[in-house]
Structure 1
């Protein structure tokens, strides 16, 4: 997952080298999200049939191809291709890796496995910009070294994945794809809407930080250190991981509205940082909003995974991620479009207000009509389906 966010602090360098507008930056990011959504729709449930391990190895192959595009980068076409391949990798990983981690856990250790999946998902997304920011700022070859490091990490991941047992019983040998679209079993629909709306708002915040925050930091806050930029983006994902770890203590039914409330406060702080041109306020907003996103995200997945039948769990989780990745792409493209004629600062303020409204609506609905939890084994699995 770290590979999907490696280019985040580097967009400014690509802009200087190639020459393109802020809108193009958001379009490059949107291509990634579009690829994720397409793969989830077409092959989101494929690992339920063919097995987890082949899908994971295929995802890492696409991730390696993405790194190759950035190493060969000579202009926008390869930049778009690299992000497209990275999106395919993330789409394959989202459902399959989550399910594999949970299924590999021994009985009684599913909660620990769930947190491991949480750390790998959001922690990996956060480590990507932190790693590339540090290497770009303090090491030679800022646009290539980090991708060589990434290829080394992929090789290690492939060796480990190859050594693990397959968790799907009687996997089929490359059956034909059965595109499912956004298919949600009837027993999940009652919790899917409020949970997915909350995820949409939370992922919109993550999209803002991964696609546009580097430009905010450089142009609005006049901070040009790439390591600082990477650390700012890392902070929102670190907070998300922390928020997810707090969900069991808060309780799933309370975590969804509480998380949405913290998300609203975090967005207010982000908006205030743009008005006051304050980096500390932006970091505090990232930490607060990220914590809220993490609380709401884990609660949403817990409730959805709890309601989903085992043989549809991978597909249901993939449908949830379709909504989430729509949130991480469409609003950010809107920011890029508005920035061309309103300015980046005003576009960020409009974005913050719109996402605040969405998060407030989802949180209010979840507070007034709290979804039911189960106390059975499926509930334990759901809590781990991150």
Structure 2
């Protein structure tokens, strides 16, 4: 079955040590010693830098809306153009990154982010805003796929849980810092809608420097160890104890050949090779035996991300209605608090079982949407802030749980595409629902639209929690079942 040989090689690599290495030092993906831990943290910086751009425009929409005179529906359409670009990027970036390497995807994405920043800084029409959002979505999609996978590559097999935590929190830290920085600079610096994007260009330049220096394993080593049909011994049924490439080249030790079923899968390398030579543009996916894990991640991450997208797109307008104020600092602060809650909860729950993290994430999202409805009907800014924090906690836990399931189960040669698949599942509803609510709000009012949205999202999040409870085996890393995938 597709992906089996890759998984076998990854399992072998995770359980071995490099000959001659210091005691306790596990091997990197290319067979050498692991980079220092600080490189793993630094590898997450490009993700932070790009996600600062992703939401930097949030508190500025009120200014653009007043200057350019567009409706709430148009506002959410501009916001959603980002998701269109992101989803299009995800169809390509994960596959390209897994085949040609992380850097050839990351470096152009960072440059494109700088181009988007220029369009934002000079925007004078709705079309320019939509174009800037679209280009920033492409950049973010590429970094979601390749950047998060790069963090895992640098971390190595023995630090996959740390890699998932850092990649996930890097995303939400950047997403939270962006609107706060924009709000503060728009009220304290000249050029209220341009200064933050000048700063963002500087951040992206620093990210380019980091990517250029990242100690990433060579793609040839990942192809070999992942057995994409280009020299991996496991794909040819050769015993890895006898050396000569594949996992053995990474210093794999002895072990019963039948333990991994190697001899029974002589054709897996040819099937993996067919997969590797397939379409460059396709809906990202994971091997069939891991689809249950992917679907559970999406079931929790999707409602959480959709809830935070609503807060980002219409939260400032809702805040303005409640307070009769268009303070950009306040709007940016609400988004910042939301994503800081997302960051903090991920560090707080990192040692819990993945199944527990997913259930907690779904319940947090449902609670956040219930509080959102209450905030709208009581005109309470405090409750609106609480709803944002709970939504952030739901997204963060859904993202961490989904990434942890994929990182612990898939080989590095399929990891970028798996990250893309998780994000496609999350961003599809995150783009569609807020736009629908935006146009609905133009007809029935923002309060009614927000109430309907909160009710639907709370129900969807509870369905996600129920799926995790029912499909227990899929909700734990390291075991592959088909129970959930077979229900599709």
**TM-score normalised by length of structure 1:** 0.92
Q: How far has the Cα of 1:333 moved from its partner?
A: 0.5
Aligned twin of 1:226: 328
Query: Within 5 A, what are the aligned runs for 1:1-386?
Result: 1-105=51-155, 108-170=158-220, 178-372=280-474, 373-374=476-477
The 2-side partners of 1:316 and 1:356 are apart by 26
Give, in angstroms, the shift of residue 374 of structure 1: 4.0
Deviates more, 1:178-187 or 1:16-25: 178-187
Please state how far the C-alpha of 1:224 moved relative to its aligned partner. 2.3
Alpha carbons 2:409, 2:478 under 8 Å: kept: no
Q: Using the alignment, how far apart are the partners of 2:100 and 2:108 within structure 1?
A: 12
Q: Is the 8 A contact 1:9 1:132 kept in 2?
A: yes
Alignment check: 8 A CA contact 1:246 1:295 kept: no
Deviation at 1:241, TM superposition (A): 1.3
In the TM superposition, residue 167 of structure 1 has moved relative to its aligned partner by 2.8
Higher relative CO (Cα under 8 Å, sequence separation at least 6) belongs to 1
Using the alignment, how far apart are the partners of 2:91 and 2:176 within structure 1? Answer: 25
Q: 1:212 Cα deviation (Å)?
A: 0.9
Q: Offset of 1:327 from its aligned partner?
A: 2.3
Are residues 116 and 9 of structure 1, via their aligned partners in 2, closer, same or farther at CA, if it must alter by over 3 Å? same
Query: Residues 247-301 of structure 1: CA distance to partner in whole angstroms, max 9, x if unpaired?
Result: 3333111111121112111111111111111111111112222212212221122
Aligned-partner Cα distance in 1 for 2:147–2:440: 36
CA distance in 1, matches of 2:395, 2:423: 14
* Number of equivalent positions: 375
More displaced, 353-362 or 175-184?
Answer: 175-184
Deviation at 1:177, TM superposition (A): 6.8
Instruction: Tell me the equivalent position of 1:383.
Output: none
Partner SS, residue 249 of structure 1: coil
CA distance in 1, matches of 2:345, 2:308: 14
Question: Are the counterparts in 1 of residues 169 and 346 from structure 2 also a CA contact under 8 Å?
Answer: no
Structure 1: runs of 5 or more not aligned: 379-386
Q: 1:375 to 1:326 in 2, by over 3 A?
A: closer
> Per-residue deviation at 1:109?
4.4
- Secondary structure of 1:190's counterpart equals helix
Distance 1:117 1:33 in 2: 20
Relative distance call for 1:368 and 1:112 in structure 2 (3 A) is: closer
CA deviation vs aligned residue, 1:180-228 (integer Å, no higher than 9, x gap): 2143310112222232121110111111111111111112332322111
Q: 2:10 maps to which residue?
A: none
8 A Cα contact 2:369 2:458, kept in partner: yes
Q: CA deviation at 1:13?
A: 0.4
Would the aligned equivalents of 2:402 and 2:422 in 1 still touch at CA under 8 Å? no
Report the CA distance between 1:55 and its aligned residue: 1.0
Partner SS state of residue 250, structure 1: coil
Structure 2 match to 1:381: none
In structure 1, C-alpha distance between the alignment counterparts of 2:138 and 2:157, rounded to whole Å: 32
Query: Contact 2:149–2:412 (CA<8 Å) still a contact in 1?
Result: no
Aligned partners of 1:258, 1:265: CA distance in 2, in Å?
10
Distance 2:95 2:426 in 1: 17
Gap change, CA 1:348 and 1:272, over 3 Å in 2: same
Local SS of the residue matching 1:74: coil
CA positional deviation for 1:176: 10
C-alpha distance after superposition, 1:127-155 (max 9, x if no partner): 11010011112222101111111111111
Name the CA distance, whole Å, in 1 between partners of 2:285 and 2:299. 16
**1 CA distance for matches of 2:160 and 2:417?**
20
Distance in 1, matches of 2:65 and 2:477, equals: 50
C-alpha contact 2:362 2:461 (8 A) present in aligned 1: yes
Query: Take 1:284 and 1:367, find their aligned partners in 2: how far apart are those partners?
Result: 26
Structure whose alpha-carbon radius of gyration is higher: 2
Q: Which has the higher helix share?
A: 1
SS at match of 1:45: helix
Aligned residues of 1:48 and 1:168 also touching (Cα < 8 A): no
- Root mean square deviation, CA, Å: 2.1
